[in-house]
Structures are given as structure tokens and as C-alpha cells.
Structure 1
Amino acid sequence: MHHPDWRARLRGELTEWRPWITRGVVLAFAAAAGLVVAGFTWLAEMAFHQFQRIEQAAWWAPLLWMPLATAVIVWLTRRFLPGAAGSGIPQVVAAMEDTTPAGKRGLYVSMKLAIGKVVLTSGGLLAGLSLGREGPSVQIAAGVMHSARRWLPDRHTISEHGLLMAGGAAGIAAAFNTPLGGVMFAIEELWHRREQRSSALLISAIVLAGLMAVSIYGNNSYFGRILVPQLGWSLFGPGLLIAVVCGLAGGLFSRLLIVSLAGGKDIFSRQRARAPVRFAAGCALLVAVIGVVTQGATFGSGYEQTKVLLEGERTGELLYTPLKLIATWLTTWTGVPAGVFAPSLAVGAGIGSDVAALIGFAERPALIALGMAGFLAAVTQAPLTAFIIVMEMINGHSMVLSLMACALIASGISRLISAPLYPALARLQLLRLGVPLEPEKKGAHHTR
């Protein structure tokens, strides 16, 4: 039997400099991506706190401030950084498409877009809009990682697709402080091909980016720790109800986003195409009205409301959940750089809380967690990513099977209603290449 010469392999490993340079560059840029996302998190939080000061100064202030600020953001985005509009995840997916020429990937990911995304998304929170920073974090981190290619040695084994995949996943890992969720996001949403020779290094990059956030904000769960007692069969009925409601609501929400952003022959789409800045200001005014009616509950990402719900307190009325969903849709329709992850978690938490209140279920935090996982899974149609992110965010390891089942059922129902959100929006992004897209065949969505 032939045995490999371990001395020769060790000597080759130690004397060949290219792999070591490659590893050093990739990990250095992964750490940088994590730090950039951590800085973005701080800036976004400060921006929203400033908006809250504006809101507290006078109840009517958002009615003036939000349309004005949104109009400025949309004008700046369309004039200087059109690739920064929207979530950011569709841009990364579009950049990773085989049909996208290497020279055109800068339309979707770059350091310039990453910096602009940080400023403009923070501006959206300064405006008080209902948006999340997690989707934008994907594009930001992907832009940082993609720029690493210029520093890699010749004949390296890392492809541009691999860098984009690692960067996008690192953005999720750092934004939510969930390294495992970042890995699963890469597999479900971004991993179009096998990166066999470099997968270990790329996964290390994702985890390292997540650890950068941990080093700054501490090893704390995103929403804290919820105490869930031993769960029994009493959770089955309410959990199934939440999965069905989340699947239906999430599928309709996803379809609404796709139809709205794709545009059509209706009067609203024509107005959006003819006067996008004025249309955005009108949408922002409606978001402001909703926020005033709900006494500020629907402003921002929804993080504070979700945390209050998980801690066992009621916030708002039954109308909070549908109004938060409408505010998020209108925010996305404006065209500002904005994600839907955090607002989706807020809507899901509202569904769980509402169901618990309606049926009188005692363990409300458990149903809220199921709602978060179910609605996020229905919107993104990435159930494994959804349940792992929620599990890590609330330190809810005792609910693994329940969260997984709810996410899978909700995602399955959503698939009957809507095409997968991010691939559909990525197709709209590919129109910027100037090449007409062929009609998408049924079942041609990317494999998860």
C-alpha cells in the first residue's frame, strides 16, 4: 500500500508562498468586511436615534421630514449610485450569475457602492423609514470582499464567485451576529456552484467576519435570551396556525414586492417611472402617516418592538402587524437602499403575538419566535437560513425542531403564491446589462 510522503507535503505546504498569501488576503478582507458592517450597524443605530429625537420634538414633524429626506435619498441614489437601490441581496445574486460579464460586476458590487450603501441606508433610518440593514450588509460586505481580488497572487484558487459568496454571507453573519446563519445563507441563496478547492477557506472567512462583530458588540444574542419552558404537544396547533398564516402573508408580501418593483401599466407604476423622486416622497408621506397613527411603532427596522414582544410585553394593537407590513412595502417601493430582513422579523413577531393573544396561549415568546422564523422563511423562501438566524438571535436552541418545522411549512406555502423574492429581483437587476431576459421557465429558479 502506497503511503503519501508527509514530509514532502509539509515541505511543499511551508515553502509554497501563494496559498499563504491567498489565505492571508482573504481572511484580512473578511475581517475588514466584518468591521465595516459593525461600523455600519453603529451608524444606522445613531441615525435612527436622531430620527426619534425629531419625532419626539413634535408629533407632526415626521409628516414633513420623512418625505423631504426620502426625496433627497432617492435623488442621490438615482443620480450617483443606482446600483445601491433596494435590498442589496439581488445585486449580489446578479453579480454571481454566469451571464454577467466580469467587467460588469461593478454595476452591482464595489467599494464605491459599499460606502454609498452605508451612507444611504443610514439616511433611510434617519428618515424614519421601515427598513432593515441586514440586506444592505450583504452588498456592503460583498463589495469589500470582491475588492480583495486585486491583491491575490497569480494562479490563486479563489474565484470571484467565491469572494462574492463569502462576502454576502459574511454580511449576514456580522449583521445578525450569527456565523452559522451566514454559512447557511451562502448555501441557500448564493452558492450556485461548488467551490470545492476553497470552501474551507471561504467558510472560515464568513465565521471570521462574524467574530469581528462579536469582538465589538460582545457574544450576545441579537434579541437577548428568551426562556422557553419544556414544550409539549400544546404547541402543535398554535404553531401550525402560525406557519400557515406566515406562509400566506409572507408569500403575498413577497409577490407584492416583486410586482411593485417590476412595474406595470397601472397608474402607480407609470407615476413611479415618470417622477420617481416625487413618487418616493408620496410613499414616505404615507409611511409617516402610518407611523403617527401607531405612535411611532412602525418607524425604523422594528427591532425595539420585536425585543419588547419577546420580553413578554404587548406593544400596540392588532393593527400593528398589517401596518408594519404596509410601511415596509411602501418603503421598498420608494427605491431607497433598504432591506426587509429586520422588518420581516418584526411582522413575524407581531403575527406570533397576535395569535397568542387571540387563542390565549400562555407561552407567548415561543409563538413569537415561531412567527419570526415562519414569516422570514416565507418572504425569502430560504427556510434553513430563517430558522437558524432566529435560533441564534434569540438563543432558542431548545426550539430547534419547532422553528425548523414552522420555517419549512411557511416556505412551502409561500412557494405556491410567489416566485422566490431575491432571484426574481436579481432578474430585474440583470436588465441593467442591456440584454433582454428570456422568459423564466417554470421550475427554473436557482437550486437551494
Structure 2
Amino acid sequence: MNTHEHERDPDVLANLQSELSDLRAWVDRGVVLGYAVLAGLAVVGFTLLSEWAFEWFQHGYAEQPWLVLLWTPALTAAIVWMTRRWVPGAAGSGIPQVMAALSPTLPADMRGRFVSLRLSLGKALLGSLGLLAGLSLGREGPSVQVAAGVLHNARHWLRRGRGLNERALLVAGGAAGIAAAFNAPLAGVVFAIEELSRKLESHNSGLIIAAIVLAGLMGVSAFGNYTYFGAIRVPTLDASALLPGLLVAVSCGVVGGLFARLLIASLTGSPDRISRWRQRHPIAFAAAGGLVVAVIGLASGGATFGAGGEEVRRMLAGEADPSQLYALLKLVATWVTTWCGVPGGIFAPSLSIGAGIGHDIAQWTGAGAGGSLAPLLIAMGMAGFLAAVTQAPLTSFIIVMEMIDGRALVLTLMASAMVASLVSRLISRPLYTVLAQHMLRAALPSAAPTQSETPPVDPPPSASPPARAAATTAPTTPDTAPPPP
């Protein structure tokens, strides 16, 4: 009789009575959804503050361009000093911190080193100061840590052992940050699966998706149902687009892979002389890095300052003719900014670098003549370069698709992201995974790698006690990240 129980139609009244009888479960759901609203509002506040800060920088730059040679280095040094002094866990993108907090090897009482309300506040304030300095950084990656820190705080109000656990709260918060920052709820869901959790538990998936949607709605309520870069005109595709499109995807894969490898070497403490000087004098290094960013910004006519969103909009609209060195200069400015250790992400700068690569190839191949294929190649460059740097192709092409209202380009953007990601994997290890492992080792030297790796294999029953203990505690894959500096 039990063998056919799954074939019976649901008993609506019984199921409804069961749901309504557990009042505490509804309280837990209400708490999670309430915190999701707060997470979305936190990202909205971060967005408004960062936009205001960069507008003030642009105003100052327009009035006195050469003042950035003093302003940017001084403020960069101050940001790094404040970060190291009060919120060291806020440095960098924020995505590796959330991945580290999700690691099953990290004790629960140490998660506060990577996600907390204090870190969320510090990330928003110091990340906005970075844009006030004109540094080449984005707010989208940091929004992941901001929203995760807010939603993670909901654990204090939930029942122990029931409902969403801390891991599910972190996944929901990180994905909500992507959804609210990009106004891209689908990208938030895919990001949760591809980059954070690798899977969604069936009993939590509905509440996690609801949290992502609510956080995204906060952004829509504040800014309207907009597309981040506007809508592009989709050209009629034929065989003439094949070669330029392939060049964009492969070029983004190579350059993005090299960029990710450069960031890994810089941020994990490679043994070169400059890295050793950075370890001994982080504030002076930040000032020197700020000066480099200021010089690059002056050389590019101000194009490399900030996240690069306005430059991308102008390229997509055919209103900009950036220098052929724009992509290279933006890449160097982003690398130096990240190397300084300021709170800031690489999502938006990566999109602008990829757009520059796509624009250049459109000009070199003649595909941009009359503006016919240029918007397409720029969009492919954005998806391809972001996929190459993050090695998260699904998230990358969906983010770009939602940012340009490019549903007609789904297959094209997907192909660009997949090819670029495959090429990048030949050159570099996954950036965020390696950085998360590095953070774990710095916080807890005995910690195993992050959740992207498989759990340890149970030893055979006949094994000796020492062998069983070693097999239980040792990771199944060798450590690949260098030791902390």
C-alpha cells in the first residue's frame, strides 16, 4: 500500500492544516523575508552612496584634473589604513569572503571574520570612499558581502535546528546582493547555484528564491524597472559575424585568464620584491598605487576612473570612440586598485574591459563600420571577459543579458562566455575559489579548502585508528593556494 502512496493526489485540506498548524515556521519565514528586504535596502543605500561619491569625484576632476595626483593617493592610503584598522575582512571583492564563510571546515564562531553587519557597513562606506578617490572598482561584488552580512544576522531570530540554516542564509544573501546590484534576479539565482552553493537544497530553495526576489524588488522600487546599460539594437546575424565573434571570445579568454592569474599572484603574496614591500608597508604601497591609478586616469582623459559603466553605455550607444589602449589601461588600473587592498569589486571594471576588447576588435575587423556589429561584439566582450575572470560562464552571460535587455542574444552571449571560460581555464585557476582558500588558511591554518571540493572519503572499517583519523580530517585534494603572506 505504501509503494503507491506517492501516486495519490495531494490532500489539500490536510496539507493546509499541517502548514497552518506550525505557527513558528511561518514566523521563521517572515523573519527571513524581512531580512531579505533589509538586505535589498542595504544594497540600494550602498548604490546611492557610491553613485553620489563618484559624482563628487567627477565634479572635482572636471574643475581641477591635476588635483587627482594628490587626492587619489592620499584617500587610497586612508582607505587602506581604515580597512586594516577596523574592518580587515572588508578588503577586496567580498565574494571570496562569502565563499570562505560557506566552507564546512570553518567553525561557526569564526564566520564573523568574513560576514557580519559590521563588515557590511564598513564595506559600503569604504567602497564608496574608493569611488570618491576615483579608483577603478565596482560595487557589485561588494554588494554580495553586504547583503550576505545582513541576511546572515537573521540566524539570531530563527529556531535552532529548523528552517534555514546559516549556510542557506549566506547563499540567499549573496545571491540577493547580485540581484539587487544588477537588477538581475535570474542572475542572482544562477550565481547562488554556480558560484556559492553548487546546488540548492529542495526544502530551502523556495524561501531562498523568494529572498532573492524581494531583495531585487527593493532595487526596482528605488530605481525603477530599468536595464543597467539600456537596450541594444540586435543586428541580423550571418556568417560575417562568426570570425569577429570568435576573435572576441578567444581574446577575452586569454586576457581574462592572464588577468585572473595576475590577481591571484598579487593577492596571495607572491615572493617578488614588490609584494614583500607591500607586506611591510601596506599604507605606503596604497599611496603609490593610488598615484599610478591617478596617472593612468589622466592619460586616458578620465575614462579609466571609477567602475566604467558610463564608458560602456556610450560604447553600446555608438557615442564613444575610446583609445585602443583603453582596455589595457583599465585592466592595469583595476589590477593596481585591487592590489592596494581597498574594499571594491572587479565585476563592473571587468565588464568595461571586455567592452573595450569587443569595441577594438569591431574596429580592427571592420565589423563596426556603420555600427552594425559593434554593439553585438561589445556585449560579447563583456560576457566573455567576465566569464574568463570569474570562470562562472552561466552567471556572466545571464548578467550581461539582463543588463542590456539582450534576450535575443542568449545563444550568442552564452557561446562567448563558454568559449572564454574554457580558454581561461587553460591559463588560470578559479579566481574566487583560490582567494577563498587563501583567506581560510590565513584565518585557520588547518582549515581545508572551500565547499567547491568534495568531502573526505570514509576510511575502510579495517583501518587502524590513526589511519581512520587521518582519513577523516585530511582533504581529498591537495592544497593549491600559496601560504598566507
Judge same fold: TM > 0.5, yes or no.
Answer: yes
User: Does 2:349 align with 1:343?
Assistant: yes
* AA matched with 1:157: G
* AA matched with 2:441: L
1:122 aligned residue: 128
User: Does 2:383 align with 1:373?
Assistant: yes
- In structure 2, C-alpha distance between the alignment counterparts of 1:250 and 1:193, rounded to whole Å: 26
1:423 aligned residue: 433
- Residue aligned with 1:175, SS: helix
- In structure 1, C-alpha distance between the alignment counterparts of 2:169 and 2:238, rounded to whole Å: 44
2:167 aligned residue: 161
Alignment counterpart, residue 295 of structure 1, candidates 274, 298, 301: 301
Q: Is the 8 A contact 1:305 1:315 kept in 2?
A: no
- In structure 2, C-alpha distance between the alignment counterparts of 1:72 and 1:49, rounded to whole Å: 20
Q: 1:1-400 to 2 correspondence within 5 Å?
A: 3=8, 5-192=11-198, 194-361=200-367, 362-400=372-410
Q: Tell me by how many angstroms 1:313 deviates.
A: 2.3
- 1:261-288: per-residue Cα shift (whole Å, max 9, x none)? 1112211011100000000110110000
- In structure 1, C-alpha distance between the alignment counterparts of 2:88 and 2:203, rounded to whole Å: 35
Q: Tell me by how many angstroms 1:7 deviates.
A: 2.0
User: Does 2:420 align with 1:414?
Assistant: no
* AA matched with 1:315: D
- 1:146-191: per-residue Cα shift (whole Å, max 9, x none)? 0011111344221111000010010001000000001111111001
Q: Is the 8 A contact 1:174 1:209 kept in 2?
A: yes
Q: Is the 8 A contact 2:235 2:376 kept in 1?
A: no
- In structure 2, C-alpha distance between the alignment counterparts of 1:46 and 1:229, rounded to whole Å: 35
Aligned-residue sequence identity (percent) comes to 58
Number of residues paired by the alignment?
A: 445
- In structure 1, C-alpha distance between the alignment counterparts of 2:272 and 2:236, rounded to whole Å: 52
Aligned alpha-carbon RMSD (Å) = 1.6
Q: Tell me by how many angstroms 1:436 deviates.
A: 4.4
1:433 aligned residue: 443
- In structure 2, C-alpha distance between the alignment counterparts of 1:200 and 1:315, rounded to whole Å: 46
For structure 2, the residue ranges without an aligned partner over 5 or more in a row are 450-474
- Residue aligned with 1:224, SS: coil
- Residue aligned with 2:147, SS: helix
Q: Is the 8 A contact 2:105 2:448 kept in 1?
A: no
Q: Tell me by how many angstroms 1:212 deviates.
A: 1.1
Q: Is the 8 A contact 1:47 1:122 kept in 2?
A: yes
* AA matched with 1:51: F
- 1:95-125: per-residue Cα shift (whole Å, max 9, x none)? 0001010000000000000001000000000
Normalised by the length of structure 1, the TM-score is 0.97
- In structure 2, C-alpha distance between the alignment counterparts of 1:443 and 1:375, rounded to whole Å: 27
Normalised by the length of structure 2, the TM-score is 0.89
- In structure 2, C-alpha distance between the alignment counterparts of 1:437 and 1:192, rounded to whole Å: 20
User: Is the radius of gyration larger for structure 1 or structure 2?
Assistant: 2
Mark the CA change 1:69 to 1:443 in structure 2 (over 3 Å): closer, same or farther. Answer: closer
Mark the CA change 1:277 to 1:443 in structure 2 (over 3 Å): closer, same or farther. Answer: closer
- In structure 2, C-alpha distance between the alignment counterparts of 1:194 and 1:202, rounded to whole Å: 9
- In structure 1, C-alpha distance between the alignment counterparts of 2:200 and 2:479, rounded to whole Å: 21
2:469 aligned residue: none
Mark the CA change 1:62 to 1:186 in structure 2 (over 3 Å): closer, same or farther. Answer: same
- In structure 1, C-alpha distance between the alignment counterparts of 2:339 and 2:77, rounded to whole Å: 13
Q: Is the 8 A contact 1:21 1:153 kept in 2?
A: no
Mark the CA change 1:444 to 1:284 in structure 2 (over 3 Å): closer, same or farther. Answer: closer
- In structure 2, C-alpha distance between the alignment counterparts of 1:161 and 1:438, rounded to whole Å: 17
- Residue aligned with 2:271, SS: coil
Mark the CA change 1:437 to 1:241 in structure 2 (over 3 Å): closer, same or farther. Answer: same
Q: Tell me by how many angstroms 1:442 deviates.
A: 7.0
